[in-house]
Structure 1
Amino acid sequence: MELQLQKPTQLASGIRLEGTPSITMGFGRVQLDMPAIMNNRAEGNISGTLRIELWDLDAPYSGGDFNGEPLAGFTVGTLTSGYCYPACEYDLINLTFSNQAERPVVMLREWNGASYDTVAFCEIADRTEKVAAPVKKAAPVARTETPKTEQPKAKATPKTAPKAKAEAKSVAKKSAKKKGSIELISINDASVADVAELKGVSEKLAAAIVAGRPYTSPNELLRVKGMGVKLLTRIKDSIKL
Structure 2
Amino acid sequence: MNASNQAHLTIQGGGYRIENDRVIISIQRIANDRVEGNLSGTLQLQLCAFQHGVGSSEAVVLASTIIGEIKGQHFLSDCYYDLLFRQPPSGTWQLSLQLNEWNGVDYTLCDSAYFDAFYQIEAPSDASTSVMQVDKLGNEKAASTPKTTVVKPIVKEVKKNTNGYADGYLAINKSKVDKLLKAKGVPKKILERLVAERPFHSEKAVLNVKGVGPVMLGKIVAELSK
**TM-score, structure 2 normalization:** 0.45
**TM-score, structure 1 normalization:** 0.42
Structure with higher Rg: it is 1
Is the strand fraction higher in 1 or 2?
2
